[in-house]
Amino acid sequence: MKSSSPLKWFASREGLYYLALALLLVVILPLALDPFRLNMVGKYLTYAFVAIGLVMCWGKAGILSLGQGVFFGLGGYCMAMFLKLEASTPEATAIQSTPGIPDFMDWNQLTALPWFWEPFHSLSFTLIAIIAVPVILAFVIGFAMFTRRVGGVYFAIITQAIAAILTILIIGQQGYTGGVNGITDLKTLAGWDIRTDAAKTTLYFVCVGMLFLCLFAARFVQNRKLGRILVAMNAQENRVRFSGYDVAAFKIFVFCLAAAFAGIGGALFTLIVGFMSPSFIGIVASIEMVIFCALGGRLSILGAVYGALLVNAAKSGFSESFPELWPFAMGALFIGVVLAFPNGLAGLYQSYVMPLEERLFKRKPKTEAAAPAPQKPVEKKDEGRDYDPMLDQYSPEKS
């Protein structure tokens, strides 16, 4: 039904949700906002990559990571290192005691480029590293934790510790990393000036395009048997194990997938914002990322995008008027989500808007319902819990 024809899929309810998001991001926001605001939306969207990963990792598979900022940061730093090297030509840095190396290295009395910076002269290496570095770290962490059956709260604490360690490491190794200021003063990407309004608008659309690629990748995984195993593992890990699956391998996979998404988001963040610093990857940033996911609805990949957009928009709005109140507002938001609507916006949408939609949609699918008649009554018995494209839980996929 879904895979039969892509055109049909766009007319299905799930397809319409994706179309609506595309319409919002590609048409409405670019028309409604000036380049500065659009650039801000682009920044919010880079967090949506992390939130989608968290839906897969936390919402579906039940692995709560409080250190997604690490992977976001690694992707971002990889990009920033490339851009910084490009900006640090011998001509541009002629006044330094060692021309040709990034300015902060010169300030820290470094006289040569550190070995691990060397490969970032190459754009293709950088593009690979943006995904590979977070994934390799996620694999190492995942392998060490999941094969030893470390899970739940312990895993969350360890990921948070890793976020703290990475932040301290970056701040402490100022000469190699730019320290607390991060890597700033980025200018061009392969000769293309990323600071102009036109470039920022282009980057916004690149970001939207990448976001949809990641959405479809996540959707693909969740609709395969692998997606059902993740959900199954969440509730009945032992049953999955004794059905012949290596549970640790599946956990490592989904953790690496989330890390890859986060890495892509981080790299786009660097391009869109124009710098990278430890404040975007530490404990607080990582917890904020979990809130984006929780508010959007931790079972819905589309909800995660809206969650990231809304929380960040609220953050900017609040910070512009009452900067000191934002942490309290965010805390209240998180408590509110946990207490009042644990399935986030997607859950609210599902219980309040969907029944209305149901009535509108009921006329349309009649032609479709005529053929597979015996199954439809069973599906309609419990509305909301059953076929549900937002959560994509029990979608009866017929090949």
Partner 1 sequence: MNAAKTTSKDFLLAVEGLTVSFDGFKAVDDLSFYLDPKEIRVIIGPNGAGKTTVLDLICGKTKATSGSIKFAGKELTRLKEHQIVHSGVGRKFQTPSVFEDLTVFENLEVSYPQGHSVMGALAFKRDAAVIEAVEAVADTIFLSDALDQPAALLSHGQKQWLEIGMLLIQKPDLLMLDEPVAGMSVAERQKTAELLRRITKDHTVLVIEHDMQFVGDIADRVTVMHQGKVLSEGSIEHVKSDPKVIEVYLGH
Site for partner 1 in 226-245 (CB under 8 A): 226, 228-229, 231-232, 234-236, 238-245
Least distance (Å) between residue 228 CB and partner 1: 5
| CA dihedral (147, 149, 152, 154) positive or negative | negative
Residue entry with tokens 């008649």: 373
Element (H, E) at 192: strand 192-193
Write out the two tokens for 115.
Answer: 């070995």
Would you count residue 203 as binding partner 1 (CB under 8 A)?
no
Which x/- pattern, by CB under 8 A, does the window 333-372 give for partner 1? ----------------------------------------
Write the single-letter amino acid at 209: G
Dist CA 20 CA 162 (whole Å):
37
Residues in the interface with partner 1 (CB under 8 A) total 36
Least distance (Å) between residue 186 CB and partner 1: 37
Dist CA 69 CA 53 (whole Å):
12
Query: Which listed range, 11-19, 40-48, 127-135, 388-396, lies at the site for partner 1 (CB under 8 A)?
Result: 388-396
DSSP state of 94: T
Query: Which listed range, 7-15, 132-140, 317-325, 381-389, lies at the site for partner 1 (CB under 8 A)?
Result: 381-389
Quick one: 32 exposed, middle or buried, by C-beta within 10 A (0-12, 13-18, 19+)? exposed
Dist CA 348 CA 337 (whole Å):
11
Query: Which listed range, 35-43, 221-229, 260-268, 349-357, lies at the site for partner 1 (CB under 8 A)?
Result: 221-229
Would you count residue 394 as binding partner 1 (CB under 8 A)?
yes
Would you count residue 249 as binding partner 1 (CB under 8 A)?
yes
Structural contact between residues 68 and 257, judged by C-beta atoms closer than 8 angstroms: no
Q: Output 179 or 344, the one with its CB closest to partner 1.
A: 344
Q: Output 37 or 239, the one with its CB closest to partner 1.
A: 239
Would you count residue 8 as binding partner 1 (CB under 8 A)?
no
Would you count residue 89 as binding partner 1 (CB under 8 A)?
no
Q: Output 208 or 254, the one with its CB closest to partner 1.
A: 254
Would you count residue 253 as binding partner 1 (CB under 8 A)?
yes
Among 121, 362, 364, 385, contact with partner 1 (rule: CB under 8 A): 385
Q: Write phi, then psi, for 366 (nearest 5 degrees).
A: -55, -40
Structural contact between residues 219 and 391, judged by C-beta atoms closer than 8 angstroms: no
Contacts of 336 (CB under 8 A, 6+ apart): none
How many CA atoms lie within 13 Å of 138's alpha carbon, on the beta-carbon side? 35
Q: Output 2 or 187, the one with its CB closest to partner 1.
A: 2
Q: Which residues of 156-191 are buried (b: 16+ CB within 10 A; e: fewer)?
A: bebbbebbeebbeebbeebbbbbbeebbbbbbebee
Q: Output 104 or 250, the one with its CB closest to partner 1.
A: 250
48: closest CA among 215, 192, 173?
215
Structural contact between residues 288 and 51, judged by C-beta atoms closer than 8 angstroms: no
Among 18, 44, 176, 250, contact with partner 1 (rule: CB under 8 A): 250
Least distance (Å) between residue 217 CB and partner 1: 11
The CA–CA distances, whole Å, from 228 to 220, 250, 380 equal 12, 11, 21
Structural contact between residues 261 and 268, judged by C-beta atoms closer than 8 angstroms: no
Dist CA 169 CA 384 (whole Å):
47
Would you count residue 105 as binding partner 1 (CB under 8 A)?
no
SS3 188: strand
Would you count residue 136 as binding partner 1 (CB under 8 A)?
no
Q: How many other CB atoms are found less than 10 A from the CB of residue 274?
A: 18
Q: Output 149 or 195, the one with its CB closest to partner 1.
A: 149
Q: Output 59 or 102, the one with its CB closest to partner 1.
A: 59
Q: Output 195 or 398, the one with its CB closest to partner 1.
A: 398
Q: Output 173 or 375, the one with its CB closest to partner 1.
A: 375
Q: Output 121 or 380, the one with its CB closest to partner 1.
A: 380
Among 110, 133, 136, 221, contact with partner 1 (rule: CB under 8 A): 221
Would you count residue 378 as binding partner 1 (CB under 8 A)?
yes
Q: Output 22 or 132, the one with its CB closest to partner 1.
A: 132
Binding site for partner 1 (CB under 8 A): 221, 224-226, 228-229, 231-232, 234-236, 238-247, 249-250, 253, 375, 378-379, 382, 385-386, 393-394, 396-399
